[in-house]
Amino acid sequence: MRDAQRIALLVLPEFSHLGLSFVVEIMALANWLAQRPLYEWRIMSVDGKPVRATNGMHVPTEPVGQVDSRFSAVFVIASFDPKAHAKNRLLRTWLQRESRAGAQIIGVETGTELLAAAGLLDGHRAAVHWDNLEGFKEVYPKIRPAAELYTLDTRVATCAGAVAIVDLMLAWVGRSHGGALTQELAQHLLHPAARASTHPQLARSDPKPAAGGERIAAAIRIMRDNVSSPIPSQSLAARVGLSRRQFERQFKEQTGVSPHRYYVRIRVATAHRLLQQTDLSVSQIAVASGFECLEHFSRIYKSRFGCAPSRDRRQSWEAPVMRQTQTPCDGGAASF
């Protein structure tokens, strides 16, 4: 009989308790169904003190530096403040050492950024949550990030987080213990079918346009593809085969706002992510989001978030949030 796989669960401050629960519960359920310990795990942190999750709960941990154990896999579970975690030299060194010893290193949600900072994902594809994709691309150019659910290789794996963790865990258990156990797990979880790793993240997909709204949907895609160099409404109208008057009227009917206002919102959303997720200067971010005048950018940003761009440099639980408004082309309003 094979020994249980030893698993390390590294949790970082402000991690997702939901993410930890999915990982632990699926391993526990696998043990129960097999009627023997397939997995045993230890929850770890930098210093061994209780770690606070985003929901306010504290989880007891063991310090990484004092645990002498060979692990089959290491899960890095994080959510907020990934820039600060990625700069932790002790954690990067520990992950590199575990990887060299043969452990599979798995990044969950922004835990993937710690793998990237440790150089473990260079040349690899990585699943990154849609809200962090732009910042990740900027900071880690040697990695191929994608808005997919997860990636699963023998040495490294990544997961965009949330309920996609269930899909990753089912595939991960199946790699070691076969599809029959995976199917049983899915049935007990009331999960009708595990999604493929490349299944798109639907949160950022533009919805199907309302009847006759294909041209407006096309214009919105053009806007998203041209953030740093905004295209005037006249040119947008011409690209989708409408006069400027027709374009502005139909756009307002289908989104609730003018093309200009909608475009500014897309650009501000880009700036918001780059500010929180990268170390680019405020002026660099202004240019990257299509604002030639820094003063104008700061004024627009402050009107939206209530603070200057220079005061919004952490992706923390307390930081301003860019809410997702009603979707375009469905008759809802998309306010700035």
Q: Is the Cβ–Cβ distance between 267 and 255 less than 8 Å?
A: no
Chain segment 285-302, per-residue pLDDT in tens: 999 999 999 999 999 999
The reply to whether CATH 3.40.50.300 applies to domain 206-311 is no
Superfamily of chain region 5-202:
Class I glutamine amidotransferase (GATase) domain (3.40.50.880)
Does the pLDDT value for residue 22 go beyond 80?
Answer: yes
Chain segment 99-118, per-residue pLDDT in tens: 999 999 999 999 999 999 99
Tell me what pLDDT residue 323 has.
Answer: 82
Nearest alpha carbon to residue 240 among 215, 212, 213, 206: 215
Lowest mean pLDDT among 22-26, 158-162, 168-172, 205-209: 205-209
Please give the Cα distance from 13 to 217 (Å, whole number). Answer: 40
What are the start and end residues of each CATH 3.40.50.880 domain in the chain?
5-202
Nearest alpha carbon to residue 54 among 84, 20, 27, 22: 20
Please give the Cα distance from 233 to 334 (Å, whole number). Answer: 17
Lowest mean pLDDT among 99-108, 140-149, 203-212, 227-236: 203-212
pLDDT band at 210 (very low <50, low <70, confident <90, very high): low
Chain segment 40-95, per-residue pLDDT in tens: 999 999 999 999 999 999 999 999 977 667 899 999 999 999 999 999 999 999 99
Q: What is the dihedral of CA 15, 109, 202, 256, to 10 degrees?
A: 50
Tell me what pLDDT residue 329 has.
Answer: 38
Tell me what pLDDT residue 1 has.
Answer: 60
Give the list of residues 6+ apart from residue 305 with CB closer than 8 angstroms, or none.
Answer: 272, 312, 320
What are the start and end residues of each CATH 1.10.10.60 domain in the chain?
206-311
- This prediction has a pTM of 0.86
